[in-house]
Every structure is written in structure tokens, then in C-alpha cells.
Structure 1
Amino acid sequence: MCPVTLRPALPSDLDALTALEQRCFDSDRLSRRSFQKWINRHHDGLIVAQTDQRQLAGYALVLLQPGTRLARLYSIAVDPAQRGQRLGEQLMEAAEDYAHQERRLYLRLEVRKDNQGAIALYEKRGYRLFGLAPDYYEDHQDALRYQKRLHYQPANDAQLHLPWVQQSTPFTCGPACLLMALAALKGHTPDTTEELLLWREATTIYMTAGHGGCHPMGLAIAARRRGLAATVWCNQKGPLFVDSVRDHDKKDVITTLHHYFVKTCKQEGIAVNYQDFTADDLDNAISAGKIVLVLISTWRLDGRKAPHWVAISGNDEECFYIHDPDPGEDQVPLDCQHVPITREKFEQMRKYGQAKLRTAVVLGG
């Protein structure tokens, strides 16, 4: 085993990290600017391996997904001159220790489909294959997605087969989630035009700043008209989101649409339950094969306190798993799929605004 010191990267490591990246990879390299960014942020997840001769022999970069219990091994490299000395295993162990110390439940990574050496290392360390990303690398090679549970493996590891859809605009999170449900329950192929049409049917027109998002009853009505069974749960009876705007004309528009959605739900036989949708209700819906769309506050994800629709992709004893249709900074789409949120944290996330609005749309085939 190669005797090295493992520590967070320092500003003095920048040149060596950049040179190491050039030696290790022919493509898909991290830029000097990227290394500089993580060093400037004092990110302890950028871990370097230094030899007794003070040479940089390798590094691992672990990113933490805000508001979740998920970590991602973004990159790992070992100097070609140092290979064969189990340095990769030491870096992997350090990466897992860092993620564990940060109370992450999962560490995820991507690996080239043809990198048999790395795949063997990951599988030896207990990583499980859970996804494939076609045409992921610059040379069009596919990536395999692996993950490892860093704490315990619960007995109930239910996960719905729910395709992920990325929203195409800042205001179509609800329609993107509904497209996921339509793909899962009806086999529909997601389409940007359909996403925008869904938004036109379900929108409140105004909300906070810019275009409005979607009303839960509006989403339920749009789902019913496309052949899905839909039920709405909401802990408030009055007009929703009206406090998110100050202009009285905008408040009137939001109120008018709310009354329209209530009336239409009654006409089309869509049940609206004016009570909280509890964690037990969510577990029962998942067990019954339902797709649940939940409104959350993004405060614990990005600090913006915005209303945001997500789709529930699975559950276990400790976490709910979400499909988030909106990748954030430093994220790739795969980072937004089956994201583990502890039950305690999820209870906090699904309260929006001063009125602590809690609402969900339960969909079936």
C-alpha cells in the first residue's frame, strides 16, 4: 500500500492538481478554474493524497447535495506512476468517511462502462449498480451509475419505476412531475409542448415573481383529462398562493382561478381532501403503486423559499426519495433522481409559506 497523507486540498495544491488531471485523463477533465473554485470554498470534500516526498499522488472530489442525505463522488484520479499500490482504495475510503461525517446516507458515482478496473474496485467496496447514462462522456461512452449506502440497508427498499423528466422552464416543475406520472402510468413519452399545455391548464398565472406555478387542483384536473385517477390533499380551504403576491389585481386573478379549480374538481368528480397528507398516507399510496406529487419549499435545497413540485420515487424506513425536475448549480440530471430525504427533513420541506401550506396530488392509472 502506498504511504500517503490524505488531507483537504490547499491553495498551494492548485498547480499540482491541474497537472495531475492532465496526466490522468484525455477528456472530461476538470478545469483549473473548477479546482480553484472548490479550494476557494474551503471544501473539505476535495481530498488529496500526498506522498512522503510531498508529491501529489491522487485526489477525490466529493460533492454534497444541499437539503438531502446524498453525496456524489464527482471525480477521482490516481497518478499513473502510483497505480498498483491500492491508492484508489485509500481515496475511496477517505471519500466515504467524508460523506459519512457529513451525515450522508448514500455516496453515488459514475464510471465509464469500459473501465473494468474501476468497476471492480467499486463493486468490491459494496457499490450497487442502479442506473445507466447513455452518451455521458465527451467521447460518447456510456456511464454506469453506482451507489453505496453508507449507514444501514433498510429492509423496505421500495422504489417506484418512475421516469425522470427535466422541466424546460423555470415555472413548469408541476407539469414536468405530471409528465413523469404519465410516463410511468400510461407509457406516454414526455414532450415539451405537452409540458407547456399542462402548465396553461394548471397555472395560477401569478406567483411570487415572474410566471405562476401550478395549483394542485389544476394539476389534478389536467391529469384526469389525460386518463389518470387523481385525488388532491390540501390542509387549507381558501385560495392558495394569494399571499405570494402584493398586487391586488394579481391576488384577484389567483383567487378567481382557485374558485374555478374548486368548481371543476366538483364537476369532474375529483376528490379534494382538506386535510394533511401524512407520512403514513404517503407510504400507503406508494405501496398501492400510486404516483404522488408533493409541493415543497426549496429553502433547504437552495435557500430561495420558492414553491416547487417534486415527484416521490420511493420510500424506506428512514427516507422518502424524490425526483426533482430542476437540476441546480453543479448538478447533472442524475443528481436529481431518487434523491434521499430523511423523513424528518421531508416533513419540514413540505411546508410552504407563512401559512405552512401542505398539499399533494395522488395519481393512479
Structure 2
Amino acid sequence: MSAVFRLAVVEDLPALLALEMQCFTTDRLTSRSFQWMITRAHAQLLVAERHDQLLGYALVLFHRGTSLARLYSIATASDARGTGLGKQLLQRIESCALEHDCAYLRLEVRTDNPAAIALYERNGYRRFALIHDYYEDHADALRLEKRILQHRDSRSIRVPFYSQTTDFTCGPACLLMAIGALQSERLLERREELQIWREATTVFMTSGHGGCSPQGLALAAWRRGFAVTLQLSLAGPLFLDGVRDEHKKDVMRLVHDEFIAQLHETDVEKLIGAQLDLPAVLAAGGQPLVLISSYRLTRSKSPHWVMVTDCDEDFVYLHDPDVDHSQHRQPMDCQHVPVSHDEFEKMCRFGRGKLRAAVVIHARK
């Protein structure tokens, strides 16, 4: 009799925990984690059973607002190994991802697990990166990726990833990534992340510390010796709609006016009302930082900077510097994230004024 595949339910918890104990010695999922994945997560937990015996499971997480899925965990019972169950679970998880409009599936695997690596590579997964000291026992991990919708071999991955270290430094983190793409020998350091924020902050924002304005980031990039293009749909002071306190608004206006005065003393190219031509910018070696509304990613209505690493006929690829571990995201989930062109267009309009903003840096000739 062949296995039956279905979505997990809370009643499967004892069998899932027993399987976890049998298959893994470290990095085990807990009862609380399994329950969250089954009942609340943006995920699907698929189980395989025969005669009411749980033979295996596969857990896939979906990255909201993107076309990326992540195989978080997969396990097969010892008496089901060698039967092809692992391959069946993998194929069914890929089908789940396709049903959720995902084009890419990514995963991590221990470097000392050749059988699992062989299974993935036989099924079209390619090595994406090596992570040292990834698991609880300090073992290394391979990251693998498969384009499950349509394969493209030519995508160049040359933009380094830097995760923001505070809630308000997404802009500086993106600028560091852009600098790293143009100067591969440059160290990406927290000291400079915070210094860029000090140079580019609006001082206040909707709450908490102020984020960075397009003008401030453009100036910070120019001061570091890069050619800069600033593209905006609106010229006036930005982000005021979300601030109620008139004193804070006055401070933000003063900061904005000072940025404008400083920009007049530079050769930063300022384009008001122009649309960002991503293929042309990338083909010319430009590194675009783009302001988005984080609502489509996190359901939080706040401005957020991302780094565009590539685009093709189907997707725009992003480095998102905000790694939210509370949502079971790892840095891999935030690198070269594929977003459909339609979804990207919706992301790139912030607030009631539908603000569009980008800072593009080039190496000086």
C-alpha cells in the first residue's frame, strides 16, 4: 500500500515529535514550533502516513509578498528510507510552493549528509552558498536553490548581503550592500552602518528613531566617492503624513531643507517624476536602493529600504536587510528574494501620496 499524503493537524503532534526524536540529534522542532507551523504560520506541513503510521513529513515556509518558498525541514522514518518517500515528499512540497505562486524553493542541508545532498541535486537543486557553524553542534550547512517554475542559469549573484543591526538602519544597510557590490574589498561594518544613519536620518519618523531619507542617503553615498542618481516622484519633505506632532514635523522639514541645500553643492543627479528603469540601471552597473512599503512583506505600514540585486522578465530580485527571526526567517530568506514585477510595482508606492523613491550609485569613471 502506498503512502497517503495530507496536511498535518494538531492531533499529529505526538507522532511528529517522535519522528523528530528518531531523525535528528540537534536542531529539533519543539511541540510549540510544530503547533505554530500547523495553526498560524504562513506555511504548509505535509505528512505521509500508511495504516495510521506517520512515515515522514515536509515543512515549507512561504515568504509573504514574494515568489520565494523555503523547505524548513524534511524527515522520513527509518523503516521508510530507501522507498523513495523522500523524493515524493520533495515533489509534493514543490507542488505546494507552485500553488502558492512561488518560483523558487530554497533549503539548508548539513555538509556531512551526502545522501540528502545527493537527493536534492538529483532533483535539480543547485548549491547557493556555504554557511559555517550553522547548526547547534557547529556543523556547516549548504544552501541549495531550485527554480521550480522556470530555470534561469544566467543570474549573476554579486551583491553581498548585510543585515541591518537596528530597527531603523535599513537604508544604511542597503547602502553598505551597494558599496560592497562596487568595491568587493570593502568591509561592511556596523560602525559605518551607524555613521551613515547619523548622516542620513530624518531624525523623527512615524514612531521611534527616524529612518533615512532618499536625500540623506544620496548625500552619504556621494560623500563616499560614488556617482549618485536620486529619483523621486515627489520633491517636498517626505514622510510627514505619519507624524502627528507638529514640533516633529518642523524638525523633519528643517532636516529636509538642509539636505536639499547640501545637494545643491554636489553633482548628484536629481530626477523628479522619472520612473526607475531597472534593466537599464543594472545593465549600466548601477546599484539601486529602492524605498518600499513594508506592508506587503510584513503587514506593517512603514517605509523600508531594500537593495535590488537583479531583474529578469519574470522577477525583480531583492536583498531585504530586515531578518525577522521571530518569523523563522534566516538571512538566506532575505537574499535575492524573487518578487513579481506586478508585486514590486505595488510595493514601490509608499503612503497616501504614492511616493516612489530610489537612490542609484555607480563607481565614478
- Does TM-score exceed 0.5, indicating one fold? yes
Q: Does the 8 Å CA contact 1:276/1:359 hold for their aligned counterparts? A: no
Q: Does the 8 Å CA contact 2:42/2:62 hold for their aligned counterparts? A: no
- Which residue of 287, 299, 306 maps to 2:302? 306
Q: Does the 8 Å CA contact 2:13/2:35 hold for their aligned counterparts? A: yes
Shift of 1:39: 2.0
Shift of 1:42: 7.9
Number of aligned pairs? 360
Q: Does the 8 Å CA contact 1:154/1:316 hold for their aligned counterparts? A: no
- Within the alignment, does 1:268 sit opposite 2:301 as a pair? no
Q: Does the 8 Å CA contact 2:288/2:358 hold for their aligned counterparts? A: yes
How far, CA to CA, are the matches of 2:41 and 2:205 in structure 1?
37
Task: Give the equivalent residue in structure 1 for 2:6.
Answer: 7
Task: Give the equivalent residue in structure 1 for 2:169.
Answer: 172
Q: Does the 8 Å CA contact 1:69/1:105 hold for their aligned counterparts? A: yes
Identity %: 50
Task: Give the equivalent residue in structure 2 for 1:100.
Answer: 98
Q: Does the 8 Å CA contact 2:292/2:303 hold for their aligned counterparts? A: yes
- Which residue of 146, 159, 162 maps to 1:162? 159
Name the CA shift for 1:80/1:305 in 2 (closer, same or farther; >3 Å): same
SS at match of 2:218: helix
Give the TM-score normalised by structure 2. Answer: 0.96
Task: Give the equivalent residue in structure 2 for 1:123.
Answer: 121
SS at match of 1:45: strand
SS at match of 2:264: helix
Which letter does structure 1 place at the counterpart of 2:28? Answer: R
Give the TM-score normalised by structure 1. Answer: 0.96
Match runs of 1:1-365 below 5 Å: 3-41=2-40, 45-51=44-50, 53-154=51-152, 157-186=154-183, 187-278=185-276, 281-328=277-324, 329-365=327-363
- More displaced stretch, 124-133 vs 213-222: 124-133
Shift of 1:286: 0.8
Shift of 1:154: 4.5
SS at match of 2:241: helix
Shift of 1:188: 1.7
Gap runs ≥5 in structure 1: none
What are the Cα deviations for residues 41-75 of structure 1, in whole angstroms up to 9, with x where unaligned? Answer: 38761000001x21001000000011101100000
Shift of 1:276: 3.2
SS at match of 2:323: coil
Shift of 1:282: 1.1
How far, CA to CA, are the matches of 1:295 and 1:326 in structure 2?
13
- More displaced stretch, 210-219 vs 35-44: 35-44
SS at match of 1:232: strand
Name the CA shift for 1:102/1:163 in 2 (closer, same or farther; >3 Å): same
Name the CA shift for 1:219/1:42 in 2 (closer, same or farther; >3 Å): closer
Shift of 1:259: 1.2
Shift of 1:159: 3.2
How far, CA to CA, are the matches of 1:42 and 1:229 in structure 2?
43
Shift of 1:40: 2.3
How far, CA to CA, are the matches of 1:195 and 1:243 in structure 2?
27
Shift of 1:203: 0.4
Shift of 1:172: 0.4
What are the Cα deviations for residues 248-304 of structure 1, in whole angstroms up to 9, with x where unaligned? Answer: 1111111111111111111012111102333xx111111112110000001110111
